[in-house]
Structure 1
Amino acid sequence: MSRAPSLPSPAGPARAALGVICGVMLFAMMGLTVVDVIGRYLFSAPLTGATELTEILLACVIFIGLPAVSLDDEHVTVDLITGKLPAAIQPFRRAILLLASGVVLAVIAWRLWAHAGQIAGYGGTTNSLRLPVAPVAYLCAICTGLAAGITFAAAMRPPRD
């Protein structure tokens, strides 16, 4: 018996946009690295600030990707014991784990926001390019907060097949 096709998720466009943003940032990191390596080894002139830009882009990719992973409910899990639990317990186990994960993400978002405020307070910048670091920290906090909200919402909906 075949199942009827499911309706597209309203989170689909958001997930796609996050994926495109992360892909562009990964491509930019790759380009920076190629230009830096070529400049360093062929011309003895590395790209100034390439390491800083790569670090900032990497942080952005990780934290922008976090809501995307939460939307897809694709966090890494290990089920050595839980897979052997009775099927009737699985929805409750899933909800409890998602709630716990949401709490952890919310705490991380809160601490990132506080840390971003400290960085903004003393005007933290990168070493060579003097780029402000606080906006990146605020972005990380916001993305983690979004992931926490998505995770809490996932705990309230029925599990997928």
Structure 2
Amino acid sequence: MHATAWALRRAVETVMAVFLMAMVALTFADVIGRRLFAAPIYGAHDITEHLMALVVFCGLPLVTAAGAHLTIDLLDRLVAQRWMGWWRALTAVLVVGLLALLAWLFVRHGLNAGRISEVSQALRVPREPLYLFMAASFALSTLAAAAIALTGPMTDPEDTHEEDPL
């Protein structure tokens, strides 16, 4: 199971890197085309908008699996105490539930977008696959949140460097 989780993580990281590189290349080409040749790339805004969503939603399961979501450490000393285990368990259940709810809502929204043929403005790119990708991202995040609730955050076995005390 652990090896499968790491293979999945590497696959998601690779897909995210490809989307990010495509977004950078498109933006670079669009700026060069606009500035030097007065010919911007038609639909670059639409494509960039979709790529940005893909990058963000590729990152969501990675951040969830690492337990790296933003947190407020104001009450960490209190919550870390043994008798507050119920609170940590309740929080984990709520996070898993909310992520699952969001996955379900995005599936519904994606199917609805397909039913009404929702498309982007300039290029008329169908939105259904994007919404379903977001749903899949939330579903993976749900699984990751459930896994870290049971086992703790995923730490990279290859990450053996010590933190610099400075």
TM-score (norm 2): 0.82
Letter in 2 for 1:63: F
Distance 2:19 2:96 in 1: 26
Q: Please say which of residues 13-22 and 89-98 is displaced more in the overlay.
A: 89-98
List alignment gaps of at least 5 residues for structure 1.
Answer: 1-7
Q: How does 1:11-160 map to 2 (within 5 A)?
A: 11-85=5-79, 87-89=81-83, 91-157=85-151
Letter in 1 for 2:19: M
* Fraction of identical pairs, as percent: 32
List alignment gaps of at least 5 residues for structure 2.
Answer: 156-166
How large is the RMSD of aligned CA atoms in angstroms? 2.2
Q: Structure 1 residues 49, 25: closer, same or farther in 2, change over 3 A?
A: same
Q: Structure 1 residues 74, 120: closer, same or farther in 2, change over 3 A?
A: same
Distance 1:144 1:53 in 2: 22
Q: How many residues align?
A: 154
TM-score (norm 1): 0.84
Q: Structure 1 residues 39, 119: closer, same or farther in 2, change over 3 A?
A: same
Q: Please say which of residues 98-107 and 81-90 is displaced more in the overlay.
A: 81-90
CA displacement, residues 10-29 of structure 1 (integer Å, 9 cap, x when unaligned): 42221121111111111111
Q: CA deviation at 1:95?
A: 2.6
Distance 1:44 1:134 in 2: 33
